[in-house]
């Protein structure tokens, strides 16, 4: 039996790479100890570090000590259970971060992010995550995937998939998540879109808006200059949030200046006082967002700020998408409302008055991953080169987590078995401004 190693949570800001059990066809998660004849064991080719993982590693939403981290998985099937009919050893597959049974009402209706059978703690199972149902993560060498016929996405042959492997690696989470946020927020051809946060999800959302959905203008904000450079190279306008700290109406003023153009329609002018708004606004920041009203990023976390920003800059009757993570309770805050219930202080009256449509929550990956795969293979969608993607070994994961947590403008992909072609690594590391 091969050895298996994984990235293991040992406490806040303490993760290690250590030996873990090689998977077998049994479910060993809370309240779900049973045989798993419908599962497949995969050998990981790419297993990514996600911004959602940082919330746990920083200790904001700590999982149980000993949890293997990671939920973005792409790999090769090495063994299947006796009930698996559609996959065989050697198949290349993408694994949705949603652990879904394929048999409950929500799964039948396409809401695999809210499966009723894979998590006794909350709706929807989730690999390697706080309140995810106890499922071990996939930042490892080998991983068991339950309900394989339902969950796995075939990537086709190795010869077809490997040249695109770094873009395909994002099908497990951030690409469907970003697309879902923009698609459900009704991004239309020619729309102006504001995206709060230029991390991997924010940048991927920008790519979806520009490359697939036909947005006319995408504005991306962040505090990190290197992340904003990536957004600029992609074709976005950018807002350096450091430049507006402490300024009244700073973000709205910056949006107004970036939109520029001619006079507003007289009716709109009368209704809005001359304000210019975006059609769609996306929060890709989440509950660890930073306030910019009177303080700097380094001294002021304000978990309501990103949502309030998108409420303020979106047009009346516009759309908001919130793929970013928020919590049912946040132990790190002092107020009882936030600690016990994850309470936010929202400009909800403004949202109500504007009649904004709000979509949010975890993405049902299976709803989109096949179509997004086709867009990658068809040359319509390129993401890896704009995320400054870096391929690392399993042993380099702890250092990568530290860099990412400090704001590095990098998307890290762990290659546990050194299977990713050198040509793919070089293409992702090339200067994207030199690409057509």
Please give the pLDDT value at position 29: 66
Alpha carbon distance 295, 301 (integer Å): 9
Nearest Cα to Cα of residue 182 among 155, 217, 207, 154: 207
> CB-side exposure of 254: number of CA atoms within 13 Å?
18
CA distance linking residue 69 with residue 49, whole number of Å: 9
Return the closest-CA partner of residue 284 out of 242, 234, 323, 235: 323
Q: What is the mean pLDDT of residues 56-67?
A: 87
Contacts of 245 (CB under 8 A, 6+ apart): 292, 293, 294, 295, 296, 297
- For residue 433, pLDDT over 90 is answered with no
pLDDT at site 345: 84
Q: Label the pairing between strands 357-360 and 314-322.
A: parallel
Confidence at residue 248, expressed as pLDDT on a 0 to 100 scale: 54
Residue 227: Cβ-neighbour burial (10 angstroms; 0-12, 13-18, 19+): buried
pLDDT-based confidence at residue 435 (cuts at 50, 70, 90)? very low
Residue 176, helix vs strand vs coil: helix
**Contact (CB, 8 A) for 212 and 395:** no
Domains and CATH numbers, the chain: 5-172+364-434 (3.90.180.10), 174-360 (3.40.50.720)
**What are the backbone dihedrals phi and psi of residue 274, each rounded to the nearest 5 degrees, phi first?**
85, 0
Q: Give the pLDDT confidence score for residue 340 in this predicted structure.
A: 53
Instruction: Tell me: pLDDT of 96 over 80.
Output: yes
Say if residues 321 and 182 touch (Cβ distance below 8 Å).
yes
pLDDT band at 299 (very low <50, low <70, confident <90, very high): very low
pLDDT at residue 331, rounded to an integer: 64
Q: pLDDT digits over 303-353, tens only?
A: 788 999 999 999 999 999 999 988 776 666 666 555 555 678 889 999 999
- Whether the CA torsion 275, 276, 279, 283 is positive or negative: it is negative
More reliable by pLDDT, 372 or 120: 372
What average pLDDT does range 138-145 have in this prediction?
97
Higher pLDDT, 64 or 214: 214
Q: Say what the pLDDT of residue 150 is.
A: 98
Query: What ranges in 67-224 are assigned the alpha helix state H?
Result: 105-108, 148-151, 158-161, 165-168, 174-184, 200-211
So what's the pLDDT on residue 295? 45
Q: Rounded to whole angstroms, how far apart are CA atoms 40 and 62?
A: 28
pTM: 0.92
Q: Which of 132, 95, 138 is nearest to 115 (CA)?
A: 132
Produce one character per residue of 393-427: b if its CB has 16 or more CB atoms within 10 Å, e if not. Answer: ebebbeebbeebeeebbbbbbbbbeeebeeebbeb
Range of lowest pLDDT (44-48, 226-230, 259-263) = 259-263
pLDDT > 80? residue 24: yes
């Amino acid at each position: 039996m091969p050895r298996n190693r994984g990235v293991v949570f040992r406490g806040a800001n303490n993760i290690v790479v250590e030996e873990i059990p090689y998977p077998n066809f049994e479910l060993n998660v809370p309240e779900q100890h049973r045989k798993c004849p419908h599962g497949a064991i995969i050998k990981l080719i790419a297993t990514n570090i996600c911004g959602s993982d940082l919330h746990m590693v920083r200790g904001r939403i700590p999982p149980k000590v000993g949890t293997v981290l990671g939920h973005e998985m792409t790999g090769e099937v090495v063994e299947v259970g006796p009930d698996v009919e559609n996959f065989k050893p050697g198949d290349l597959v993408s694994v949705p971060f949603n652990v879904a049974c394929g048999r409950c009402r929500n799964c039948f209706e396409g809401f695999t992010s809210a499966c009723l059978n894979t998590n006794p703690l909350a709706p929807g199972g989730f690999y390697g995550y706080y309140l995810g149902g106890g499922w071990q993560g996939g930042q490892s060498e080998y991983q068991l995937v339950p309900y394989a016929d339902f969950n796995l996405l075939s990537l086709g042959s190795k010869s077809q998939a490997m040249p695109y492997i770094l873009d395909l690696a994002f099908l497990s989470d951030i690409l469907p998540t970003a697309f879902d946020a923009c698609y459900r927020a009704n991004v239309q051809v020619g729309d102006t879109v504001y995206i709060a946060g230029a991390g991997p999800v924010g940048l991927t959302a920008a790519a979806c808006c520009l490359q697939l959905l036909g947005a006319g203008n995408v504005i991306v904000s962040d505090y990190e200059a290197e992340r904003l450079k990536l957004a600029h190279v992609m074709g976005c306008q950018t807002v350096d949030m450091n430049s507006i700290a402490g300024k009244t109406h700073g973000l709205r003023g910056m949006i107004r200046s970036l939109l520029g153009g001619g006079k507003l329609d007289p009716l709109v002018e009368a209704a809005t006082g001359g304000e210019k708004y975006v059609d769609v606004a996306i929060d890709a920041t989440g509950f660890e967002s930073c306030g910019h009203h009177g303080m700097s990023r380094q001294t002021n976390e304000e978990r309501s700020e990103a949502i309030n920003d998108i409420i303020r800059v979106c047009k009346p009757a516009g759309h908001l998408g919130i793929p970013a993570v928020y919590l049912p309770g946040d132990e790190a805050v002092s107020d009882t409302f936030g600690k016990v219930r994850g309470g936010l202080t929202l400009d909800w009256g403004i949202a109500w008055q504007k009649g904004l449509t709000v979509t949010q929550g975890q993405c049902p990956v299976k709803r989109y991953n096949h179509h997004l795969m086709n867009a990658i293979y068809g040359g319509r969608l390129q993401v890896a080169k704009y995320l400054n993607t870096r391929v690392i070994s399993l042993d380099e994961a702890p250092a990568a987590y530290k860099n990412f947590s400090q704001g590095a403008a990098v998307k890290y992909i762990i290659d546990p078995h050194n299977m990713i072609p050198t040509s793919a690594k070089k293409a992702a590391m090339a200067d994207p401004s030199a690409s057509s």
